[in-house]
Amino acid sequence: MKTARLHAQWVKEEAKRIGFHACGISRAEFLEEDAPRLEQWLKSGMQGQMAYMERNFDMRLDPRKLVPGARSVVSLLFNYHNPDSVGGDDTPRIAQYAYGEDYHFVLRDKLRELLDCLRARIGQIEGRIFVDSAPVLEKSWAARSGLGWVGKNTNLITREQGSYFFLCELISDLELAPDGSMADYCGTCTRCIDACPTQAITPYKVDGSRCISYLTIELRDQMPQWAQGQWKDWVFGCDICQEVCPWNRFSRRHHEERLMPHPDLPLLDRDAWVEMTHEVFGTLFRRSAVKRAGYDRLMSTVRLVALGDAGDDNAE
């Protein structure tokens, strides 16, 4: 056990050196409490068109099915808060996490560095890194390891800096001393629930099919009639439930150069967004998560938000 504690302490020190805000550790075991919640969420159809959420149910609940022989789940937080808003004042907006380079690339590089350092110090270990690209219930693992609590808006919230964090994991067969979970500090607050324009949030549950992030990124059909006009400026993702969260008054600006927006992005006004060409889109979002939506999908949302142009074939 002494060795497990020493290794855990060293992992956390290395994670901090690499640039992660926080690091917590859990035992790699079945997430018994999450199983019925996930099953009910799926049965209610709250995944919308996100069919991938229905696959690999067992893997989402047991990391040992992802990494045979896994003993520890290392959860890490990486700050992406940038208070300099891109958009606003009737200008289309994108979620903060998408301002700069796609976080998958940024965090994978840092996780690989952490895993390489771990192997160099301890020896050969079996492990995999995960950045929102595999069936991992990352918020559950982060909460289990004491990094924060899952709030009423289902974001992981920390007392120190709120919720503007990327979550990622290193799952390995190395035994590490686990951390304990922490209390829920949402209290009686309902600001995120009250502020959501599409009523997607109920306490500790989000109907993904109504979430603005889903509607502007995941949905491949035309925007449903009921959703049109429900929000005024979000064209890729949404930060409303984070902007109103009292804990985010403690959020601090990140210092990762790769997450900074293209210098021309904050300069776009409403007309520039509406008139954006393929070439400009490619320049501004060359390595951004915004590319996931694609030019046509993004511009359809931009026109709907900026001009109220819903087209003639919207889904009912």
Quick: pLDDT tens for 284-299.
Answer: 998 999 998 999 999 9
- Residue-wise over 178-192: b if at least 16 C-beta within 10 A, else e? bbebbeeebeeeebb
- pLDDT for the residue numbered 87: 67
Asked whether 96 and 239 are in contact (CB, 8 A), the reply is yes
What mean pLDDT is reported for the chain?
A: 93
Asked whether 223 and 234 are in contact (CB, 8 A), the reply is no
pLDDT tens per residue across span 226-275:
988 888 799 999 999 999 999 999 999 999 999 999 999 999 999 999 99
Cα dihedral 261, 266, 271, 272 in deg (nearest 10): -40
Nearest residue to 247 (alpha-carbon basis) of 180, 179, 189: 189
- pLDDT for the residue numbered 278: 96
Q: Is the pLDDT of residue 89 over 80?
A: no
Q: Is the pLDDT of residue 117 over 50?
A: yes
Q: Which of 39-43, 84-88, 221-225 has the highest mean pLDDT?
A: 39-43
Q: Which residues are catalytic?
A: 132
- pLDDT for the residue numbered 313: 43
Percent of the chain with pLDDT over 90: 82
Question: What is the C-alpha separation between 169 and 114, in angstroms, rounded?
Answer: 11
Q: How many CB atoms lie within 10 A of CB 293?
A: 23
- pLDDT for the residue numbered 50: 87
Strands (E), the chain: 22-27, 72-79, 93-94, 127-130, 149-150, 156-157, 165-172, 201-202, 205-206, 234-236
Q: Is 165 helix (H, G, I), strand (E, B) or coil?
A: strand
- pLDDT for the residue numbered 1: 74
Q: Is the pLDDT of residue 312 over 50?
A: no
pLDDT tens per residue across span 21-56:
999 999 999 999 999 999 999 999 999 888 888 888
Q: Which residues touch 39 (CB under 8 Å, ≥6 apart)?
A: 57
- pLDDT for the residue numbered 309: 66
Percent of the chain with pLDDT over 70: 97
Mean pLDDT on 307-316: 52
- pLDDT for the residue numbered 30: 96
Please report, for residues 10, 12, 108, 146, 256, the alpha-carbon distance to residue 169 in angstroms, rounded to integers and kept in the order given: 16, 13, 10, 14, 19
- pLDDT for the residue numbered 315: 37
